[in-house]
């Protein structure tokens, strides 16, 4: 059996080596390392794929979030609501900009922002909501948009984990994750669903004025060379990364489907295990069969995350490692309990779901190259230990 990895970037690369190497060589021969043609070609290709008017490439997904918030003109003291159960980057940039993060609980089935908790957290100072499309599935955007509209709030989608996923509205309209709110952000970190071979990120919007503002912010606040209208940052996607991404973008849908195939295998294998809750796929698409169907494309499984309900999650983590099966706890500490983000305003009773999830969740190997022999071994090892 091929060695099991959490993410197998090497096997994926070997299959596209010729194309990627040729693109990188082209960049090397052109010496257009910054702002070269590949950056613009990738930007245009991604705009078309996402069906969004503007893609603004930048250096990484964390910058993308920060720049989005700067572009919307959020100011110190403005409250920004986001989920307690996510990667720290989301709350980090809120803090860096001296905005006030307001963390709220998540839903136990999708792990995404809880709509009732979100409603309760709104105050006159609230300016924006940052739904995170955790593990590859959109938050309940229909509800988020309705709340944002009622209270006149911006919606910034942290789409670092769900690029390629569709979101289907109740009326059947479909939009790509990240293109639903005022602005969306993503990361091209190597292990993300569309990963480059270094750091990269992008911001998406359909708003022409905002796009213009963002393009200046990523480039030192310049709208005309050497004229700095606003305080900006230096955040660029370099040409080599753009070349890699341009080669990989046409494969994104097949990558998502490969991930879904692995998820289906896992789901079937764990279906009758009383101590395991498999991921909930929550789509409003009329034709969604619920069992990770490809038609509605609503989950792209950045992670495949189980809940272990018999109290043996930590033992399972070690048992899998002992059997050569990498696995991870995303996330072991809720943001509200992190030293950097503690706040007297929070009550533990506001985070009952997150507090439970951190004890129950475990993420299994998930990538585009898992084969049936590996999946069988992983699921058998889990089922033999947890029952």
Q: Where along the sequence are the contacts to ligand PLP (CB under 6 A)?
A: 60-62, 86-87, 89-90, 132, 158, 160-161, 187, 189, 199, 201
Rounded to a whole number of angstroms, the minimum distance from the CB of residue 361 to ligand PLP is 15
Question: Residue with CB nearest ligand PLP?
Answer: 61
Rounded to a whole number of angstroms, the minimum distance from the CB of residue 177 to ligand PLP is 12
Give the C-alpha distances (Å, rounded to integers) separating 114 from 25, 55, 83, 84.
47, 28, 8, 10
Nearer to ligand PLP (CB atom), residue 178 or residue 273: 178
Rounded to a whole number of angstroms, the minimum distance from the CB of residue 112 to ligand PLP is 11
Look-up: residue for tokens 């991921």? 279
Rounded to a whole number of angstroms, the minimum distance from the CB of residue 67 to ligand PLP is 12
Give the C-alpha distances (Å, rounded to integers) separating 215 from 28, 45, 211.
26, 18, 6
Nearer to ligand PLP (CB atom), residue 12 or residue 187: 187
Cα(155)–Cα(169) distance, integer angstroms: 16
Q: Is 277 helix (H, G, I), strand (E, B) or coil?
A: strand
Rounded to a whole number of angstroms, the minimum distance from the CB of residue 80 to ligand PLP is 14
Q: Is 153 helix (H, G, I), strand (E, B) or coil?
A: coil
Nearer to ligand PLP (CB atom), residue 7 or residue 288: 7
Nearer to ligand PLP (CB atom), residue 42 or residue 265: 42
Q: Quick count: other Cβ atoms within 10 Å of Cβ 48? A: 11
Count how many Cα atoms sit within 13 Å of the Cα of residue 73 in the half-sphere of its side chain: 5
Nearer to ligand PLP (CB atom), residue 57 or residue 61: 61
- In order, the DSSP letters of 87-98 are -THHHHHHHHTT
Nearer to ligand PLP (CB atom), residue 133 or residue 246: 133
Residue 223's nearest CA partner among 234, 212, 235 is: 212
Rounded to a whole number of angstroms, the minimum distance from the CB of residue 180 to ligand PLP is 16
Nearer to ligand PLP (CB atom), residue 62 or residue 182: 62
Nearer to ligand PLP (CB atom), residue 137 or residue 161: 161
Q: Is 10 exposed, middle or buried (0-12, 13-18, 19+ CB in 10 A)?
A: exposed
- CA torsion through residues 119, 125, 128, 134, sign: negative
Residue 327 in contact with residue 6, Cβ under 8 Å? Answer: yes
Rounded to a whole number of angstroms, the minimum distance from the CB of residue 89 to ligand PLP is 4
Rounded to a whole number of angstroms, the minimum distance from the CB of residue 220 to ligand PLP is 20
Nearer to ligand PLP (CB atom), residue 169 or residue 189: 189
Rounded to a whole number of angstroms, the minimum distance from the CB of residue 362 to ligand PLP is 17
Residue 115's nearest CA partner among 143, 79, 81, 85 is: 143
Q: Please give the helix or strand (H or E) that residue 191 lies within, else none.
A: none
Phi, psi of 281 (to 5 degrees): -105, 120
């Amino acid at each position: 059996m091929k060695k099991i990895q959490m993410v197998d970037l090497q096997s994926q690369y070997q299959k596209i080596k010729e194309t990627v190497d040729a693109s990188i060589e082209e960049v090397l021969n052109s010496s257009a390392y910054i702002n070269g043609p590949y950056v613009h070609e990738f930007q245009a290709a991604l705009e078309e794929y996402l069906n969004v008017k503007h893609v603004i490439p930048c250096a990484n997904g964390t910058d993308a979030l920060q720049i989005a918030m700067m572009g919307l003109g959020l100011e110190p003291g403005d409250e920004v609501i986001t989920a307690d159960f996510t990667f720290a980057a989301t709350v980090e940039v809120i803090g860096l900009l001296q905005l006030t993060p307001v963390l709220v609980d998540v839903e136990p089935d999708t792990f995404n922002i809880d709509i009732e908790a979100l409603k309760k957290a709104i105050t006159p100072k609230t300016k924006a909501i940052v739904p995170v499309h955790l593990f590859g599935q959109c938050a309940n955007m229909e509800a988020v948009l309705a709340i944002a509209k009622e209270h006149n709030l911006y919606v910034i989608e942290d789409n670092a984990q769900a690029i390629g996923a569709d979101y289907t509205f109740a009326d059947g309209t479909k939009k790509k994750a990240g293109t639903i709110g005022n602005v969306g952000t993503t990361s091209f970190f190597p292990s993300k669903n569309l990963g480059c071979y270094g750091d990269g990120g992008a911001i998406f919007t359909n708003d022409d004025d905002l796009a213009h503002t963002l393009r200046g912010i990523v480039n030192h606040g310049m709208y005309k060379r050497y004229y700095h209208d606003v305080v900006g940052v230096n955040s660029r996607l370099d040409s080599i990364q753009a070349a890699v991404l341009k080669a990989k973008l046409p494969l994104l849908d097949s990558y998502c489907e490969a991930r879904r195939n692995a998820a289906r295998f896992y789901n079937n294998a764990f279906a009758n295990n009383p101590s395991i809750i498999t991921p909930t796929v929550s789509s409003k698409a009329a034709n969604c069969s619920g069992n990770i169907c490809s038609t509605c494309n609503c989950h792209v499984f950045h992670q495949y995350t189980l809940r272990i309900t018999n109290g043996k999650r930590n033992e399972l983590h070690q048992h899998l490692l002992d059997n050569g099966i990498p696995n991870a706890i995303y996330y072991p500490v809720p943001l509200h309990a992190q030293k950097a983000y503690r706040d007297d305003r929070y009550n533990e009773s506001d985070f009952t779901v997150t507090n439970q999830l951190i004890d129950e969740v475990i993420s299994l190997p998930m990538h585009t190259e898992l084969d049936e022999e590996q999946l069988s071994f992983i699921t058998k090892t889990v089922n033999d230990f947890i029952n």
